[in-house]
Amino acid sequence: MTRLFNDPSDFPEEARLGLVAANRDKLMAVPGGVVRSTRSEPGTVAVVIGGGSGHYPTFAGLVGQGLAHGAVMGNLFCSPSAQQVYSVAKAASNGGGVLLSFGNYAGDVLHFGEAKERLIAEGIPCEIVLVTDDVASAPLEELDKRRGIAGDLTVFKAAAAAAEKGLSLAEVVEVAREANRCTRSFGVAFAGCTLPGAADSLFRVPESRMAIGLGIHGEPGIGETDIPSADGLAEMLVNRLLEEIPEGFSIQEARVATILNGLGTIKYEELFVVYRKVDELLQRAGVTIVEPDVGELVTSLDMSGVSLTLFWLDKQMEPLWTAAANAPGYRKGSVKPAQALDPADVEVVVQDQIPDASDASRNVARGVVEALGVLSQTVNENCELLGQIDAVAGDGDHGIGMQRGSKAALEAANEALDGGAGVETVLQWAGQRWSDQAGGTSGAIWRVILKALGESLGNDKPLTGQCLAAGVIGARDQVMAFGKAKVGDKTLVDVLVPFAAALAKEAEAGKGIVASWEVAASVASEAADATAKLIPRVGRARPLAEKSVGTRDAGSVSLALIIQALIPVLKKCEAS
């Protein structure tokens, strides 16, 4: 259990600030994460990594000379927002382009991808390399669908060492992709992790059993077995990874970097007992081990678990793996002292100004703030239910993520309203703050929804049924284009599409706002219930797809609940 915290919602930010305070010689805080506090060579590539908080020393603990130039820090187990990625990348940029690298999770792919396009549009060359080392998350023929776990370190380390040598962006990207191709990981868990303030862990493993193929966000494993001896576990891990020797390598005379990783509560002495056998097995197989790491490198708060990573080395990769590095959570060799960076030289992204708005739009904006309050209350009342639904085949954090996001959105909307904003600006601020605080796929999707609604309603128009319906249609189109999900994939899209169609149909028929919304809300509720029959084809639930049959999709349920809860607010707005 995570015991030391103040307000649970402040935990990631307070941990970030504490990390920087303890490592000012290496780190500097910027909006969205951290960057090096030392100067890098001008014109070199900046390697920016990131993902959810809760995995220290990954990600922020891997920022420093010889390692990453910046780390984006999302909320606990949630991807950072596109704005946060953009902010950290701008601050870390050295003039040679930016490489973004992270584990292959849907929310991260969405947010980092959007930030990449924004950086390129501003003239900053940017590329993405996904880490896909987890052999349990997809078969070898679907390597691109595998998620990133402890192999993050090998990819980040190789790419950063290449950037430190002055290689071009294209060359650094090639190194990172090759490092990823040559990395394999496999893990087990004995107990789930607990978020600050939560009454229970995200998942449970029966006594004397272990989950096989766990995910680092609390995703359940793909199977269970009795807990073996330490030697038995070593044999399981080694044997599984030796089944997948990367193309171009043979086990005889191979040189391999090993990482035996503890996920939070396995003590170092336990890891050493297991590693003793790992070392013996690999050497017996003919493998030469190069600078192994045993310890906590990619954690999951207080999860009880272990993973083994093998990084197959050639003449190009070995010097990159053994190169010196000096970061708060990872040190190797001796780096050349670097000059401290003046904070004034770091580019910081600031909040947009509030544009002018009509009185009519400000009046609508007040109703929108009230609606966001109802939305937040609805999420709070159903938070536990949404988490339980999500935990069946996912990581169980949908309710908490929605709670964080909706609370932040309401706060941002009130700030914008107090500044004289119209409805478009209020919704844009709310969506951006939701994305920043919630992260994850749902954070990205709700930012898109609120942004699309704002674009339709504008900053100078009164509320009409046609504008509202057009906004929902716009949200549908943008969500599907952004997230690539389709009807039948068991996502929020399975509710959003029929809801938008029903609302547009009623509005075109000349019905009022409330009457149209009530009909469409009924359609949304039926669509959410129908997702129980579906098999997830995208997102974190996909590896455990069959397990989710019979359970509704959490994102669909939360959207349907919110749609229904907004009816009284719309009645009040229509009456005024």
Distance in angstroms (rounded) separating the CA atoms of residues 219 and 392: 9
* DSSP E strand stretches across 277-333: 288-289, 293-295, 304-313, 325-327, 330-332
Distance in angstroms (rounded) separating the CA atoms of residues 146 and 215: 11
Distance in angstroms (rounded) separating the CA atoms of residues 480 and 219: 25
Residue labelled with tokens 């809860």: 565
Cα 224 from chain centre:
26
176 near 100, Cβ under 8 Å?
Answer: no
Distance in angstroms (rounded) separating the CA atoms of residues 488 and 264: 37
- Cα distances (Å, whole numbers) of residue 446 to 43, 265, 406: 37, 34, 9
Q: Where are the alpha helices (DSSP H) in 243-292?
A: 268-284
Distance in angstroms (rounded) separating the CA atoms of residues 220 and 570: 40
Q: What is the largest CA-CA distance in the chain?
A: 80
Distance in angstroms (rounded) separating the CA atoms of residues 503 and 52: 36
Residues pairing with 36 in the sheet: 27
Q: What's the first-to-final CA gap in the chain, in angstroms?
A: 50
How many residues in total does the chain contain?
A: 576
With CA atoms as reference, report the closest residue to 307 among 367, 241, 218.
Answer: 241
Residues marked as catalytic:
217
DSSP string spanning 166-180?
Answer: T--HHHHHHHHHHHH
